[in-house]
Amino acid sequence: MSGFFVHPQGICETAEVGEGTRIWAFAHVLSGARIGRNCNICDGVFVEDDVSIGDDVTVKCGVQLWSGVRLGNRVFVGPNATFTNDKHPRSKQRPPAYARTIVGDGASIGANATILPGVRIGVDAMIGAGAVVTRDVPARAAVVGNPGRVTGYAGAVELDDASANSLPQDYGPSLIRLDTHAEARGRLYVADEGVIPFTPRRFFLVDKVPVGEARGSHAHHVSQQFIVAVSGQVVVAMDDGRRAYSVRLSHPGIGVYLPPLIWSMQFGHSVDAVLLVLASEPYDKSKYISDYSEFCSIVSRAGGD
Amino acid sequence: MSGFFVHPQGICETAEVGEGTRIWAFAHVLSGARIGRNCNICDGVFVEDDVSIGDDVTVKCGVQLWSGVRLGNRVFVGPNATFTNDKHPRSKQRPPAYARTIVGDGASIGANATILPGVRIGVDAMIGAGAVVTRDVPARAAVVGNPGRVTGYAGAVELDDASANSLPQDYGPSLIRLDTHAEARGRLYVADEGVIPFTPRRFFLVDKVPVGEARGSHAHHVSQQFIVAVSGQVVVAMDDGRRAYSVRLSHPGIGVYLPPLIWSMQFGHSVDAVLLVLASEPYDKSKYISDYSEFCSIVSRAGGD
Amino acid sequence: MSGFFVHPQGICETAEVGEGTRIWAFAHVLSGARIGRNCNICDGVFVEDDVSIGDDVTVKCGVQLWSGVRLGNRVFVGPNATFTNDKHPRSKQRPPAYARTIVGDGASIGANATILPGVRIGVDAMIGAGAVVTRDVPARAAVVGNPGRVTGYAGAVELDDASANSLPQDYGPSLIRLDTHAEARGRLYVADEGVIPFTPRRFFLVDKVPVGEARGSHAHHVSQQFIVAVSGQVVVAMDDGRRAYSVRLSHPGIGVYLPPLIWSMQFGHSVDAVLLVLASEPYDKSKYISDYSEFCSIVSRAGGD
Amino acid sequence: MSGFFVHPQGICETAEVGEGTRIWAFAHVLSGARIGRNCNICDGVFVEDDVSIGDDVTVKCGVQLWSGVRLGNRVFVGPNATFTNDKHPRSKQRPPAYARTIVGDGASIGANATILPGVRIGVDAMIGAGAVVTRDVPARAAVVGNPGRVTGYAGAVELDDASANSLPQDYGPSLIRLDTHAEARGRLYVADEGVIPFTPRRFFLVDKVPVGEARGSHAHHVSQQFIVAVSGQVVVAMDDGRRAYSVRLSHPGIGVYLPPLIWSMQFGHSVDAVLLVLASEPYDKSKYISDYSEFCSIVSRAGGD
Amino acid sequence: MSGFFVHPQGICETAEVGEGTRIWAFAHVLSGARIGRNCNICDGVFVEDDVSIGDDVTVKCGVQLWSGVRLGNRVFVGPNATFTNDKHPRSKQRPPAYARTIVGDGASIGANATILPGVRIGVDAMIGAGAVVTRDVPARAAVVGNPGRVTGYAGAVELDDASANSLPQDYGPSLIRLDTHAEARGRLYVADEGVIPFTPRRFFLVDKVPVGEARGSHAHHVSQQFIVAVSGQVVVAMDDGRRAYSVRLSHPGIGVYLPPLIWSMQFGHSVDAVLLVLASEPYDKSKYISDYSEFCSIVSRAGGD
Amino acid sequence: MSGFFVHPQGICETAEVGEGTRIWAFAHVLSGARIGRNCNICDGVFVEDDVSIGDDVTVKCGVQLWSGVRLGNRVFVGPNATFTNDKHPRSKQRPPAYARTIVGDGASIGANATILPGVRIGVDAMIGAGAVVTRDVPARAAVVGNPGRVTGYAGAVELDDASANSLPQDYGPSLIRLDTHAEARGRLYVADEGVIPFTPRRFFLVDKVPVGEARGSHAHHVSQQFIVAVSGQVVVAMDDGRRAYSVRLSHPGIGVYLPPLIWSMQFGHSVDAVLLVLASEPYDKSKYISDYSEFCSIVSRAGGD
């Protein structure tokens, strides 16, 4: 290869570096590493041999990329962010194989964040500064804290159930209010036939979701869904590939309707959260879309003309 | 009238007393009161003028029946049970009208219970000894405490969701277990199509029911229902006119299926109780049966041969 | 004395009975008892010797008045209401002296209530049916439950702090909203100079009031007060001798202003209730009015013309 | 029999009445009832046929004693206290047998209390005014409320664990403080060998005791015990037949040592109460003394000279 | 400039470096950066172009100072502490402007701390090792945790309300105990006239302060204040420019009196904390001192001689 | 010394480096530092003068070892892990002495962890990535979070009390189930004589252990123990020098039996945890083994043949 820059006080022992990439002072890239085009490898970065880095990646100062790390395209790694590749490190004891840590296209890892071994970080995820990521991160999830908790869906407009009217009229998903009766003897929430736009053929309940966990992160080819927080609170993110919204549901009188081909993630469960999900179709694993990039190309084709 | 007995030391100033009725020592019945047949008016009972008493009624010692009290047939009033007819009594101040207290056929009022003015007590209800009844009581409800709370369905066999198998095979209602998955990321309860024996065309959620309150107390001509406690606990009473059961539901993995023509009452809600009810039919008030006596004659005709 | 009526089957062994008083069947009044004018002593009532009863008193059926009981004028005693005069009764053991139970003028004791020995029940108090009264009851307090708890101020219009505008313009007391700032860093409620119509020269805080207890029950000759629930909830009753209101305070942004010569009682404290009271005057016991009857005559003179 | 008094307006249809007993106006005693000596049967009392009453008993006005009631000697029954003998009363339906309600020698039943059918009330128990007694009451237990809850041991000196020194030196039971270490990393309570005066051969833990319940109510011929509230609070009553004390235990650093021949009852458990009991002997039912009267005579013989 | 040292293996591309400053091995300072006198820029530090550093600053190994960072005089930056300047970093996407992060004179940033973009850190603040600072930090505040929470006032002697006597006699602020009455009907805390040394002309209440937040951080030219925790707990820091104390208030019976010219910060609010503040003066923004450095020079002049 | 490697772009100013040790690019070791044999000092590491490092130690990139740090043999220090030696750092202010931080043989410090000044980290401890260690860490303890909390025992097989059968038959410690009675009046757990294999001569209770704290961390030469969680939950780690297990105890019906010469640590206490420990021997400090290395050599000798 050719056309890449190495600072006089940087060390680059590999030739697998793409055009336009710059490697700065006190950085050290070992033989065997592969780096794409137009990357920026800043001062003091250390790259081991079994590492691959996509195109247009930024790695800020003080970062090490250990054997087993795979960075997609357009990944950002903030200063002093720290990767790992051995779950139970002991000096002079090498694990049979190094854990593989995979960072999806477009993801950002905040300054001084810590990434536990073997974690997969989804496409376009946003890891906050100082976060300690202990488990896989779904596509576009925003994660902060120690241990890291999902607290948002990157790029989504945030609504609560009092601002239900803010969802655009031409948007597929919608918020549906149930008929609510507050009586002296209790509250009643009714969905007579027709209130939700499909006949439920399947339902399930979800509770005891640990604080900071996310669920969902898939779309359906055919099934419609209706989600309501029958107890506690939850945030439902929805995304048609162009516009994303997240809605905090906080009482049983309002729910989210999701048509097919909407990517959805649920997070922000309160301790007492119980979710009811009604679905229009029986369970069929083959009708799920579980890869966000695949989802994006499907809806992009669908929306084209 | 004729054919009734008054003890030599009792006082009876009305002639409206049915055959076979006995009025005992130190009892005092004022002119204007009407008493049915085969009643037993025990020692020390006092009956005012604007009172009517059905047939086969027992009024134990130390009870007063004030103007405005109406007792149906087969009512039992325990010793020292106390009625009232003025919500804010002050000496020498008479309310514009006395509150009317109505006790349904077959109901029992326990010893030393207190009945607040204007309360209606349903058919076959069972008021516990010492209870203070501050609000209306549904048919067959059992009430105890101060203030009185519904704690049972009179005559029902009591089950919990661990004893689901105890419901008879030939009984219409049944308990249905959902498919349960306890995962690291939460618990999941699934009812795939076919698990409940109808397609839900309507559902509703009920929460915040005050402690001690009862709901339901009706039957459906056509609709089937499936009831599950998605959070907290509740007791579901069910009654086909011959056999009655009450089932305590305490987790989201099991629910009650109710076919048509089953009288049901729900009570014993925990503070965090949330009920999900799926129904086979759209809402139609005319398909409700809200009078227990009417329900009994419908199912009795239906079951006859 | 003369001019009173005894039913032929009643027994009256005292001559100390006022004109117009009626004693009914199976009632039994012992020698030594004193009964005022225009009283109604109903069937089955039993009156011991060391008892005094004022004028215009109603004693309903099934009541006993034991030695030591003193009833004021216009007292109402509901059916089967039960008095006591020995705190630790044992058969054949007589206490050195019987407890004295005093019921103030105009008070009502509900049906089947129980009054523990030695309790004082204030003027115009309203004891609910079935209540068990275990401690003294302030003037006009409404008491229900077992044990009895203060839950209202008899005859007051009930408001909450959302209905602040319902206090009449020409009424002395008023509700004052503080300037409220809800900030990300906390909530702030400000009373700049002039917001409350006096300069506070004294303040006090009240917390840990047991559930069901009442405090206050006095008026001030001179002092103005401002009361705010800085935590939790409380109900403040206020009474100018003609009109009475009770206001439930439930957050720190609104308080009650009380001018002089307003009788006030506080009750309905939540477990976490803390009250702040600002006063315009230093403490001076001689400026308190602690007797409700005296208060009524003072304000009646003041308001006369 | 002879030598008893019946008021001219009382009715006594039995001859089984002991000498010195008085039956007052409007009382009515049916044929078959048996009443002991020196009893006082007050105005308006009603006594059915299958009733027996011991000697020196007081039954105040407005009380009915139904078939199945058995009162021991020296029992006190307060005014309007109400007995029952049918758990599910329905008019014109007689149970196969009436429940038998037994009141032990020396017990007192407070005014307007309600006694559910079939309850056994122990020797010297003290039922508070207005209480609704729904379950058996141990000897000397004090009961109040609806439902009735054990709140004391009649006649005991009440201590808490801060007043441990108040137990007399010559009293068998004692309070033993454990060696307590409050450290930054937790609290530690140690009982080295010899701190408690026996070698534990058996221990048990008690938790989830319902509020208001009592446990124990027995003595041991041989076994020594050491009781400590390892979580929450409990009151331990102890009684050597002459002197009784109750001690509220509220933290794990202090326990009660009970030598043999001490009657003990535990009550007042907080919701989170867990009791640890160490015993010096293996379990042997024959070494228990479960009858308080028998206990009293054993210790009275033992203490004689 | 002249008179500064650069290690042979360090790189310094700016000439704006003050006398006495040392730049060590593997450090890299870009052109445009400005560094004051007597600073210590340790091994491996990286300094971008739009950065300014005051005098006497220490920057330990592994730190990067990005464009937009401004360090005052005498600032300490611990090893691997990490700054940021882009709130939503994405590779190859530059924000319109970099966030400006300002660190006040004398502040210390602990080892491995993370500073979110645009945060202002006050004079003499103390950021703990490993803290993640997500919001502005008041002068002298001590911050720890992820997210960072205010937990102290740097250099203050820590007291609680049980150690009230430890405040020096000659110190302006003082702790004042209210007159406390623990009654069966509740607790009462009274401040009669004269107990606090001014007449309140204004008061305010503060509640719902998020955990870890600080309030106050200013002094008054004229106003006196009295602060009491009427519910929950709070820590009040006070500082006369020479000596600083922080007092944990934990019940309504004791409060802090602050004379004029005392800098105060409140922090450590419990979830249920409600603060009452009485002030001697009406609100006048111009009488506040909100800059700690200005405060220090005012009290230093005032105290001089 | 001789036989160690320094990368051409590394700087090593000390000669006290053991054979086989390698010092890599951009690392900088100051004069005075002592490094053992076969160590790996990676890119960018900085080592001050008063530092000693044992044999076979790995120090990954981006780590600084400040004066006062002592690393034992076989220590692993992950990338960007950060040490400190001044509790209250201020620029240009040097503490009288630097805190001494000691890391035991075999311990591992995870990537990007922060070690507060003066902390002692026990033999074989495992500090998780991103942890902030604020207090001493026992031998083999696993620590994670900010602040760091003990959450495991390194290398132990993890069981709960439902998997009691998983402890090997030939393992010294065992789980013992108590006899459990769930009664209407409470739950009872009985250990009759013989259920635990020794006579308890000593017992103690432990409660209020802060979340994340560990206790124990010692073995006994002679004493046997039985540990039961009488309230709440706790994890008991046990280690015979060859195999280690940790058991989560979560109810009072099961406990852990520990024979002599078993090293045990308790951790993971829930907020309501109360532990009961029965011991076979009186307290004798000289029979404790409190040093894990000593324990290992004792059991290794004992197990030899």
Round to whole Å and give the CA distance between E10 and F27. 13
D129: which chain B residues are within 8 Å (Cβ-Cβ)? none
Q: At D176, which CATH number? A: 2.60.120.10
Give pLDDT tens digits for A200-239: 888 888 888 888 999 999 999 999 999 999 889 999 999 9
CA angle D13, D14, D18 (to 5 degrees): 135
Q: Which of A189, A199, A208 sits opposite B205 (nearest CB)?
A: A189
**Spatial CA neighbour of E270 closest among E217, E206, E180:** E206
SS3 content of chain B, % helix, strand, coil (to 5): 5, 40, 55
Q: How many other CB atoms are there within 10 angstroms of residue A186's CB atom?
A: 18
Q: At D102, which CATH number? A: 2.160.10.10
Residue numbers in chain D where pLDDT is lower than 70:
1-2, 164-165, 183, 185, 303-305
The minimum CA-CA distance between A140 and chain B, rounded to whole Å, is 19
Mean pLDDT of chain E: 94
pLDDT at D304: 46
pLDDT at F122: 97
**Which of the two residues, D208 and F290, has the higher pLDDT score?**
F290
Question: Domain span at residue F35?
Answer: 1-154
Structure tokens at A231: 């107890």
Percentage of chain E lying above the pLDDT 70 cut: 98
Q: Which of B136, B183, B202, B204 to mutate to test the interface with A (most CBs of A within 10 A)?
A: B204
List average pLDDT for each run of 10 residues in chain B, which is 305 residues long: 88 97 98 98 98 98 98 98 96 94 98 98 98 97 97 94 80 91 76 86 85 93 94 95 95 92 96 89 91 95 62
Round to whole Å and give the CA distance between F116 and F130. 13
Neighbour order of strands in the sheet with E263-267: E157-160, E244-249, E234-239, E263-267, E215-220, E288-289
- A neighbour chains, 3+ CB pairs within 8 Å: B, E, F
Round to whole Å and give the CA distance between F42 and C232. 60
Beta bridge partners of F60: none
- For residues D72 and D184, membership in a common domain is answered with no
Q: Do A276 and B272 touch (CB under 8 A)?
A: no
The DSSP secondary-structure symbol of B55 reads S
pLDDT at A1 over 60: no
pLDDT at A204: 84
- For residues E215 and E187, membership in a common domain is answered with yes
Q: Do E116 and A126 touch (CB under 8 A)?
A: no
- For residues C147 and C3, membership in a common domain is answered with yes
Residues 6+ away with beta carbon under 8 Å from A154: A124, A125, A126, A140, A141, A142, E88
Q: Which of C77, C114, C116, C127 to mutate to test the interface with D (most CBs of D within 10 A)?
A: C114
Query: pTM of this prediction?
Result: 0.90
- Evaluated on CA atoms E246, E247, E250, E254, the torsion sign reads negative
Which 3 state secondary structure label does DSSP give F294?
Answer: helix
Q: Which of C187, C204, C281 to mutate to test the interface with E (most CBs of E within 10 A)?
A: C204
pLDDT at E1: 47
Residue ending a domain, choose from F121, F154, F187: F154
pLDDT at C1 over 60: no
E214: which chain C residues are within 8 Å (Cβ-Cβ)? 185
Which chain C residue has its CA at the smallest distance from E279's CA?
C192
F106: which chain A residues are within 8 Å (Cβ-Cβ)? 90-91
Q: Do B213 and A185 touch (CB under 8 A)?
A: yes
F205: which chain D residues are within 8 Å (Cβ-Cβ)? 178, 188-189, 228, 230, 252, 276
- For residues D139 and D4, membership in a common domain is answered with yes
**Spatial CA neighbour of C185 closest among E136, E91, D40:** E136
Q: Which of E179, E180, E204 to mutate to test the interface with C (most CBs of C within 10 A)?
A: E204
- For residues F250 and F174, membership in a common domain is answered with yes
Q: Which of C231, C251, C270 to mutate to test the interface with E (most CBs of E within 10 A)?
A: C231
Give pLDDT tens digits for C62-119: 999 999 999 999 999 999 999 999 999 999 999 999 999 999 999 999 999 999 999 9
Beta bridge partners of C182: C187
Residue ending a domain, choose from A154, A174, A206: A154
Q: How confident is the model at residue C279 (pLDDT cuts 50, 70, 90)?
A: very high
D11: which chain B residues are within 8 Å (Cβ-Cβ)? 9, 25
Q: Mean pLDDT highest for which of A175-179, A230-234, C140-144?
A: C140-144
pLDDT at A88 over 70: yes
Which chain A residue has its CA at the smallest distance from B228's CA?
A205
- For residues F298 and F181, membership in a common domain is answered with yes
Q: Do D76 and C82 touch (CB under 8 A)?
A: no
Which chain B residue has its CA at the smallest distance from D92's CA?
B56
Residues 6+ away with beta carbon under 8 Å from C293: C104, C105, C123
Q: Are A250 and A163 in contact (CB under 8 A)?
A: no
Residues 6+ away with beta carbon under 8 Å from E140: E122, E123, E124, E125, E126, E153, E154, E155, E156, E237, E239, E244, E265, E292
Percentage of chain E lying above the pLDDT 90 cut: 85
pLDDT at B304: 45
Look up residue A13 and give its amino acid: E
**Which of the two residues, E281 and F193, has the higher pLDDT score?**
E281
Q: Which of A11, A146, A147 sits opposite F25 (nearest CB)?
A: A11
A-F C-beta contacts closer than 8 Å? 82
Q: How confident is the model at residue C277 (pLDDT cuts 50, 70, 90)?
A: very high
Give pLDDT tens digits for E138-171: 999 999 999 999 999 999 999 987 776 679 999 9
Neighbour order of strands in the sheet with F274-279: D179-183, D186-191, F202-207, F274-279, F225-231, F254-258, F174-177
- For residues C192 and C283, membership in a common domain is answered with yes
- For residues C81 and C192, membership in a common domain is answered with no
Q: Are B164 and B254 in contact (CB under 8 A)?
A: yes
**Spatial CA neighbour of B78 closest among B57, B52, B48:** B57
Round to whole Å and give the CA distance between B224 and B277. 10
Residues 6+ away with beta carbon under 8 Å from D39: D17, D18, D20, D21, D22, D53, D55, D56, D57, D58, D59
- For residues F59 and F176, membership in a common domain is answered with no
Residue ending a domain, choose from B99, B123, B154: B154
pLDDT at E303: 59
Which 3 state secondary structure label does DSSP give C218?
Answer: strand
ipTM of the complex: 0.93
Give pLDDT tens digits for E22-58: 999 999 999 999 999 999 999 999 999 999 999 999 9
The residue length of chain D stands at 305
F188: which chain D residues are within 8 Å (Cβ-Cβ)? 204-206
- For residues F92 and F222, membership in a common domain is answered with no
Q: How many other CB atoms are there within 10 angstroms of residue E302's CB atom?
A: 10
Q: Are D125 and D137 in contact (CB under 8 A)?
A: yes
Q: Are F229 and F258 in contact (CB under 8 A)?
A: no
Which chain F residue has its CA at the smallest distance from E105's CA?
F91
E186: which chain C residues are within 8 Å (Cβ-Cβ)? 206-210, 213, 215, 269
A-E C-beta contacts closer than 8 Å? 81
- For residues C141 and C10, membership in a common domain is answered with yes
Q: Which of C43, C58, C144 sits opposite B91 (nearest CB)?
A: C58
- For residues B167 and B138, membership in a common domain is answered with no
- Cα-only R_g, chain A: 23
pLDDT at C304 over 70: no
User: Are chains D and A touching, using the cut-off of 8 Å on CB pairs and a minimum of 3 such pairs?
Assistant: no
- E neighbour chains, 3+ CB pairs within 8 Å: A, C, F
Give pLDDT tens digits for E182-214: 777 788 888 988 899 999 989 889 998 999 999
Strands A101-103 and A120-121: parallel
Give pLDDT tens digits for C166-209: 799 999 999 999 988 887 778 888 898 889 999 998 988 999 89
Give pLDDT tens digits for E218-263: 999 999 999 999 999 999 999 999 999 999 999 899 999 999 999 9
Q: How many other CB atoms are there within 10 angstroms of residue E164's CB atom?
A: 15
pLDDT at A182: 73
Q: Are E260 and E223 in contact (CB under 8 A)?
A: yes
Q: How confident is the model at residue F304 (pLDDT cuts 50, 70, 90)?
A: very low
Give pLDDT tens digits for B239-285: 999 999 999 999 888 999 999 999 999 999 998 888 889 899 988 89
B-D C-beta contacts closer than 8 Å? 82
CB-based burial, D148-179: b 16+ in 10 Å, e otherwise: bbbbbbbebeebebeeeeebeeeebbbbbebe
Which 3 state secondary structure label does DSSP give B301?
Answer: helix
For chain D, the domain total comes to 2
The minimum CA-CA distance between C93 and chain D, rounded to whole Å, is 10
Q: Which of E26, E28, E84 sits opposite A78 (nearest CB)?
A: E84
pLDDT at A2: 63
